[in-house]
Structure 1
Amino acid sequence: MNETSERSPLALFASDVEERKKLSSYPEPFRSRMSKRVKRPLGDLFGINNFGVNLTELLPGGESSIMHCHSKQDEFVYIVSGRPTLVTDRGEMELAPGMCAGFPAAGLAHHLVNRSDERVVYLEIGDRTPGDSAGYPHDDLVANLGASGWLFTHKDGNPY
């Protein structure tokens, strides 16, 4: 047993976990689009390193991310409450509590948008495969996962 797992809680209420302080790692003008998103990182509290788990809240008008697709990371979402709109390359659909959606690496570009008047709460789960990158089909943005986190450039390679 490692030191982290010895200090980790056995269980907790996800809603009691402190909100992530950092709004987003996106550069502007994209970061401010995340102002109606609140993430509570859950997996890290248990010493989980191979994948991330967040309890995420979208206020009305909020979006989960910039529409994107990962090269290596698989992603999964489970809707706890509210009715977000799932936007993908194949179109849009409203999701409801109890529904889930999965996005294999190199699959559909996607994101969630809260077009309702109520908050949306969902679990997001994604792996942390080294060497991942993300493409953003509707924006001049590319992300590459480096040793110190996500590095963002324009599609022509110039940094933000």
Structure 2
Amino acid sequence: MKPVSIRADEAPLRTKPSNYPEPFASRMAGRQKRPLGDLFGLTNFGVNLTRLAPGAVSSLRHAHSHQDEFIYVLQGHPTLHTDDGRRRLSPGDCAGFKAGSGNGHRLINDTTDEVVYLEVGDRTRGDTAQYPDDDIVAEHDGVRWRFHHKDGHPYD
């Protein structure tokens, strides 16, 4: 049975810290995700309560072809890194990234305090993610993300 309600900060942590292959997965050290939407059986969109320790990043800077993304800062002062540059965020700030915009984005915790935020994204099939700063491309096959180099050969 799926719960009707829970305390978000008591939800189980995601069992696999990162879907990225190495050498990228280890760059996600200090990030913890609690997949809230999955607990309720949500299938059209995902919701994560995410914590970034000092020095941690939310992800590689990326842009989705088919999925919209939204973040809402609950605690701390992360730096939003996009194609437009870097901007400090505060609790209550939010940001959204329309599918297909090509605007690569991520959060960086370059402070000495923990950052906590909600991230929401839809689960549109056929999505791909481009990573402007790294030699990686992601494609969702309907079940999981598959990663390859920009020249097309897969990560092992």
* Bucket of the pairwise TM-score, normalised by the shorter protein: over 0.9
Match for 1:67 among 61, 66, 88?
61
In the TM superposition, what is the alpha-carbon distance from 1:9 to its structure 2 partner? 1.3
Unaligned stretches of 5+ in structure 2?
none
Residues of 2 paired with 1:159 and 1:48: CA distance? 30
Q: Which string of whole-angstrom CA distances, capped at 9 and with x for unpartnered residues, describes residues 28-61 of structure 1?
A: 1100011110000000111110000000000001
The runs of at least 4 aligned residues of structure 1 exceeding 3 Å deviation read none
Residues of 1 paired with 2:67 and 2:8: CA distance? 24
Q: Tell me whether 1:22 sits opposite 2:22 in the alignment.
A: no
Q: TM-score, normalised by structure 1?
A: 0.95
Q: Tell me whether 1:9 sits opposite 2:3 in the alignment.
A: yes
Determine what percentage of the aligned residue pairs are the same residue: 56
Residues of 2 paired with 1:15 and 1:139: CA distance? 32
Aligned to 1:3: none
Aligned to 2:96: 102
Q: Which string of whole-angstrom CA distances, capped at 9 and with x for unpartnered residues, describes residues 100-146 of structure 1?
A: 00000122110000000000000000000000000001110000001
User: What residue identity is the alignment partner of 1:135?
Assistant: Q
Match for 1:50 among 40, 44, 50?
44
Q: CA RMSD in A?
A: 0.6
User: What residue identity is the alignment partner of 1:122?
Assistant: Y
User: What residue identity is the alignment partner of 1:153?
Assistant: H
Match for 1:139 among 134, 145, 149?
134
Residues of 2 paired with 1:30 and 1:106: CA distance? 23
User: What residue identity is the alignment partner of 1:57?
Assistant: R
Unaligned stretches of 5+ in structure 1?
1-6
User: What residue identity is the alignment partner of 1:94?
Assistant: R
Count of residue correspondences = 154
Q: Tell me whether 1:129 sits opposite 2:124 in the alignment.
A: yes
